[in-house]
A = this chain, B = another copy of it.
Amino acid sequence: MTTPSTSPSLFTPPAPGRTPDPALAHRRADAVLTVVGPDGAPLADADVVVEQTNHRFLFGCIGFELVDHANGYASGGSDHTGASAAEADPEFDARFAERWLDVFNMATLPFYWGGFEPVEGEPRTAELLAAARWFAERGVVVKGHPLVWHTVQPKWLLDKPLEEVERLQRERIRRDAGAFAGVVDTWDAINEVVIMPVFEAEENAITPLARVKGRVEMIRMAFEEARAANPAATLLLNDFDMSTAYECLIEAVLEAGIRIDRLGLQSHMHQGYWGEEKTLRVLERFSRYNIPIHFTETTLLSGDVMPPHVVDLNDWRVDSWPSTPEGEERQADEVERHYRTLLSHPSVEAMTYWGLSDRGMWLNAPGGLLRADGSPKPAYDRLRSLVKGEWWLPPTTLRTDSAGRVRFGGFLGDYRVTAAGGGSAAVVLDAPGEQQVEATLAG
Binary interface encoding of chain A residues 425-439 relative to chain B, with 1 for a CB under 8 A from any of its CBs, else 0 = 000000000000000
A249 to B254, CA, bound (A): 12
Cβ-defined contact, B256 with A248, below 8 A: no
- Interface membership of A288, Cβ < 8 A: yes
A272 to B243, CA, bound (A): 23
Report how many copies the assembly holds. 2
Do A256 and B9 form a contact, CB below 8 Å, given A1-B166, A211-B14?
Answer: yes
- Nearest chain-B residue to A258 (Cβ)? B255
- Nearest chain-B residue to A195 (Cβ)? B244
Cβ-defined contact, B7 with A215, below 8 A: no
Cβ-defined contact, A216 with B1, below 8 A: no
B14, B195, B215, B247: the one contacting A251 at CB < 8 Å is B215
B11, B194, B197: the one contacting A214 at CB < 8 Å is B11
Binary interface encoding of chain A residues 146-169 relative to chain B, with 1 for a CB under 8 A from any of its CBs, else 0 = 000000000000000011001000
Cβ-defined contact, B3 with A217, below 8 A: yes
Cβ-defined contact, A212 with B14, below 8 A: yes
Smallest CB–CB gap between A252 and chain B, Å? Answer: 3
A251 to B219, CA, bound (A): 12
- Interface membership of A241, Cβ < 8 A: yes
- Interface membership of A94, Cβ < 8 A: no
The range of chain A's interface size is: 35 or more
- Interface membership of A6, Cβ < 8 A: yes
B198, B255, B257: the one contacting A244 at CB < 8 Å is B198
Cβ-defined contact, B194 with A11, below 8 A: no
- Interface membership of A389, Cβ < 8 A: no
Smallest CB–CB gap between A357 and chain B, Å? Answer: 34
Smallest CB–CB gap between A11 and chain B, Å? Answer: 5
- Nearest chain-B residue to A243 (Cβ)? B245
B7, B163, B252, B257: the one contacting A248 at CB < 8 Å is B252
Do A216 and B249 form a contact, CB below 8 Å, given A14-B211, A163-B1, A194-B244?
Answer: no
B163, B198, B251: the one contacting A252 at CB < 8 Å is B251
B14, B195, B197, B255: the one contacting A256 at CB < 8 Å is B255
Set of chain B residues within 8 Å of A163, measured between Cβ atoms? 1
Enumerate A207-232 residues with CB–CB distance to B below 8 Å.
211-217
A11 to B211, CA, bound (A): 11
- Interface membership of A285, Cβ < 8 A: yes
- Interface membership of A40, Cβ < 8 A: no
Set of chain B residues within 8 Å of A139, measured between Cβ atoms? none
Cβ-defined contact, B166 with A216, below 8 A: no
- Interface membership of A182, Cβ < 8 A: no
Enumerate A285-305 residues with CB–CB distance to B below 8 Å.
285, 288
- Nearest chain-B residue to A252 (Cβ)? B252
Set of chain B residues within 8 Å of A244, measured between Cβ atoms? 194-195, 198, 241, 245
Set of chain B residues within 8 Å of A162, measured between Cβ atoms? 1
Set of chain B residues within 8 Å of A443, measured between Cβ atoms? none
Do A216 and B13 form a contact, CB below 8 Å, given A198-B244, A243-B243, A248-B245?
Answer: no
Set of chain B residues within 8 Å of A249, measured between Cβ atoms? 248, 251-252
- Nearest chain-B residue to A289 (Cβ)? B214
Binary interface encoding of chain A residues 1-32 relative to chain B, with 1 for a CB under 8 A from any of its CBs, else 0 = 10100111101011000000000000000000
Cβ-defined contact, A212 with B257, below 8 A: no
Set of chain B residues within 8 Å of A247, measured between Cβ atoms? 197-198, 215, 245
Enumerate A352-368 residues with CB–CB distance to B below 8 Å.
none
- Nearest chain-B residue to A217 (Cβ)? B3
- Nearest chain-B residue to A194 (Cβ)? B244
Set of chain B residues within 8 Å of A11, measured between Cβ atoms? 214, 216-217
Q: Which of A245, A256, A288 has the most CB of B within 10 A?
A: A256
Can you list 27 A-B pairs with a CB-CB distance of less than 8 A?
A1-B162, A1-B213, A3-B217, A6-B8, A7-B256, A7-B257, A9-B217, A9-B256, A13-B214, A194-B244, A194-B248, A195-B244, A197-B247, A198-B244, A198-B247, A214-B251, A215-B247, A216-B251, A243-B243, A244-B245, A245-B245, A248-B248, A248-B249, A249-B252, A251-B252, A255-B256, A256-B256
5 closest A-B pairs by beta carbon, nearest first, are: A252-B252, A245-B245, A248-B248, A248-B249, A255-B256
